[in-house]
Amino acid sequence: MQNERYDAIIVGAGHNGLVCANYLARKGLRTLVIERRKMVGGAAVTEELWPGIKVSTASYVCSLLDRQIIKELELAKYGFVFIGKEPQSFTPMLNGEHLFLYGDMKDTKKEISRFSRHDAKAYERYDRYLTGIVEAMDPILKQSPPDIGSMASLAKFGLLNRRLVRKAQDFVDVMSLSVKDFLDRWFESDELKASLATDGIVGAMAAPSTPGTAYILLHHVMGNIEGRGRWGYVQGGMGSVSEALAKSAKSRGVKIMTDAPVDRILVEGGRAVGVVVGKRTYRAGIIVSNAEPKRTFLEMVGEDKLGENFLWKVKNYQTRSSSFKINMLLNGLPDFECYPNKTELPEPQHKGSIYMCEDFEYMERAFDDAKYGMPSRNPVISMFIPSSVDKTLAPNGTYVAGCFVQYAPYKLKGTDWNRENSKFIKSTISTIRKYAPNIDDILVNVQGLSPVDLESRFGLTGGNIFHGDMTPDQLFFSRFSYGTPVKGLYLCGSGTHPGGGVSGLPGFNAAKYILRNIRKI
């Protein structure tokens, strides 16, 4: 086998791997990134599913991408353009009502007051409450979590994060409460609570009544790319994030190989020394995996290279999923019965996230199906139409739309996704039809990705979009560390702190950790 030598090799060109590569290269490390797919980006990709139609196949909206990363890596120079959503969301209802939530607080309060004056007043306090927790958390998002077994480490952490310590009770509440109990504390209207609760269950095999889901909601308001908790699209699709990161990395001398699946990570004498790709070996003193932890350790490293306790942790790391992604090509816009279209052009109801779920009871019933191993008969749907604001995705008169759908459990009882895929697409479209009866008239083409498809296509074990459950037992110091028991091997993906979403922070933190570590050698 031929050998090539680098200072650092990164397995996987997902956005975190590319962020890590950038920061290592900035410090002069000769860095190689190896990607199994033909394109960079992992789940943050734009693909031409149909001729001339660009689709964010998996990841679809942006908010969490860290502003420091955007600035330091000059992503705007390399094509990154953020398009804020306004309104933020639109919730159609079967009773003829609807609810918009805006980026502007005054407009949002006016809209909520149609349902509850109490909730309109409470919403501003609620927003300040979440913002206070998130701003107190900001510093720890860019730190390695403390060593829970070291009083000195915990004391240092407390001193560095005194603002978070002062918010400890609020933080504990959000970490432990269900999103239902949390929102019930603040609001009385089912319409508002249902609109907000979707962020507490997205990507999770959990009901709104499941303890810990309030944290998932909090995770979705951590972004500050254009105002705290505001979400938007990326011009050209989510692949533009990854492409900008790749161009930035190449400008720093990083070599990127695609269509090159890593067969195994070489471990010699208890130390990672390289990777094997087909008949070729690439060696480096630093090996960094952007792959999900189970895939990294069980498939690429091997159980025999791991200690008993660590192997137990890897095998028991939860990657449960219940998310199904649907991508659609439309030749018109959905016409919602509760808020009819006035023109043939995109209107406010088309530009933000579109939530189709009536109330907590509806969501709980949807989860009940999944709990017993079946797809939801009446699924919870988050729909979005990015081409309503981004004309680069599809020709005039056609639209790219997508749905992130709950619940679609990875493991099904008495059947499998080969048999259920098309059925679940039909049940999702049937649900959309209740709100927008013209969906059948405008639907040109459709792609459905089950959790099994998300696993095989994007390397998301169990179909989990976060590289592992975002539950209290798998967050902060309980998530995987950037360092591993195998010397010279590091992790930089979403299986590490601070977890999932297109933030770049796991890659950023991993690079800092690696650079500190090699200075000690």
The more confident residue out of 170 and 74 is 74
All structural domains of the chain with their residue ranges: 2-43+66-81+237-318+465-520
Residue 40 near residue 319 (C-beta atoms within 8 A): no
CB 47 within 8 A of CB 238: no
Dihedral of the CA atoms 447, 229, 105, 405 (nearest 10)? 20
The DSSP secondary-structure symbol of 225 reads B
The DSSP H or E segment spanning 370 is helix 360-371
Position 224 confidence tier, pLDDT thresholds 50, 70, 90: confident
Q: What is the bridge-based pairing of β-strands 353-356 and 89-92?
A: parallel
Angle between helices 117-141 and 168-176 (to 10 degrees): 100
The pTM (predicted TM-score) of the whole model is: 0.94
CATH match of 2-43+66-81+237-318+465-520 with 3.40.50.2000: no
Predicted pLDDT at 164? 63
Is there a contact between 462 and 319 (Cβ–Cβ < 8 Å)?
Answer: yes
Mean pLDDT confidence for 87-101: 96
The pLDDT of residue 145 is 74
pLDDT in tens, 44-62: 999 999 999 999 999 999 9
Q: What is the pLDDT of residue 152?
A: 56
User: Is residue 146 very low, low, confident or very high in pLDDT (cuts 50, 70, 90)?
Assistant: low
How does pLDDT run across 117-139, given as a tens digit for each residue? 999 999 999 999 999 988 888 88
Phi, psi of 399 (to 5 degrees): -140, 140
Judge whether 417 and 452 are in contact, CB under 8 Å. Answer: yes
Residue 170 confidence (pLDDT): 82
